Amino acid sequence: MEYAEWWILKPESSLSNLIQQQRLPLNLFFRPIELTTLIQDYAHQNDMYIKGNENILILNDELKTCFNTPIVYIPDLYNLCLPHVDVVNESKSFVIKNKLIHDEMYVDSPTEIIYCDPSSKFWIPRQFFSSGISTNNQFIFSWKELYDNFLSFITKPNAHIKQITNTIFFIDDNSIFADRFNFKYFHINQISLILKQMIKFLGKSNTILTACPDLKFEDINPQDDVVLWMEDIIQNNNNITPYVSSFIYL
């Protein structure tokens, strides 16, 4: 319903003249809520609200002329605006609605969906190999392999990171990590944050349908356009975690 109805101001309308004179921001085509919100903002700026009852406006002379009443109950603004607007026809409304939805739409996806997928592969820079994270020159890992390797590495005696307590670790000044990490101490629960800045996501073979067996869509195949569209969203939303050469922060 948010995008269902569209208006355009009548050129001869007193409300239209007021909006132009006051230079109030309103697009040529707009939704009813945009106009009623604009009026409420204008009323607020001009102290028209009643203390203790913000659903009532005492109008100034300009709005009195527009609505032919000195007092307005805010939920009535929709009907009071109707004489000042033309309703946009259905075909034009369809075009405007689709453009606005396209411009405003953002589909979020859980960051963890990539890291939880066992088919996801990650690359770790070769300069970290000498630290002992990888014992067999492997530089492409699953997320679980990376996490387990790093945890095993920091909890065993080594020349780079020392375990201070059960949960706190210290980075030696002479370690390769000291040149890259912008901190000296970290908590065991921060391992994921550290790794996500050290690695680059290479891709995955599962789609959202194969990775989530509880999703059942009989009419949709794993390679259908809608699935690939969702996969693009997931990958684009998670391009915030590539390996970069700058300092790693917590």
Question: What digits encode the pLDDT tens for the residues 89-115?
Answer: 776 665 666 666 555 555 555 667 788
Going by C-alpha positions, the residue among 155, 112, 109, 113 that lies closest to residue 132 is 155
**What tens digit of pLDDT does each residue of 198-247 get?**
888 887 877 765 656 555 556 666 666 766 776 676 666 555 554 555 56
**Spatial separation of the C-alpha atoms in residues 128 and 179, rounded to whole Å:** 11
pTM of this structure: 0.51
Judge whether 7-104 and 112-237 match in fold. yes
User: How far from each other are the two terminal CA atoms of the chain, in whole angstroms?
Assistant: 43
* CA pseudo-torsion sign 213, 214, 220, 223: negative
- What is the CATH class of 112-237? mainly alpha
Both tokens of 122, joined, read 């990650």
* CA pseudo-torsion sign 17, 22, 25, 31: negative
Q: What's the CA angle centered on 48, arms 47 and 52, to 5 degrees?
A: 95
Please give the CATH number for the structural domain made up of 7-104.
1.10.245.10
* Domain residue ranges in the chain: 7-104, 112-237
pLDDT band at 9 (very low <50, low <70, confident <90, very high): very high
Residue 189 makes CB contacts below 8 A (sequence gap 6+) with 167
Q: Is the pLDDT of residue 148 over 80?
A: yes
C-alpha pair distances (Å), 79 with each of 5, 16, 72, 236: 14, 16, 11, 44
**Spatial separation of the C-alpha atoms in residues 131 and 125, rounded to whole Å:** 11
Q: Which residue has the tokens 């391992």?
A: 191
53-58 vs 49-50, strand pairing mode: antiparallel
Question: What pLDDT was estimated at residue 97?
Answer: 61
- Are the C-beta atoms of residues 154 and 163 closer than 8 Å to each other? yes
Residue 109 makes CB contacts below 8 A (sequence gap 6+) with 230, 233, 234, 237, 238
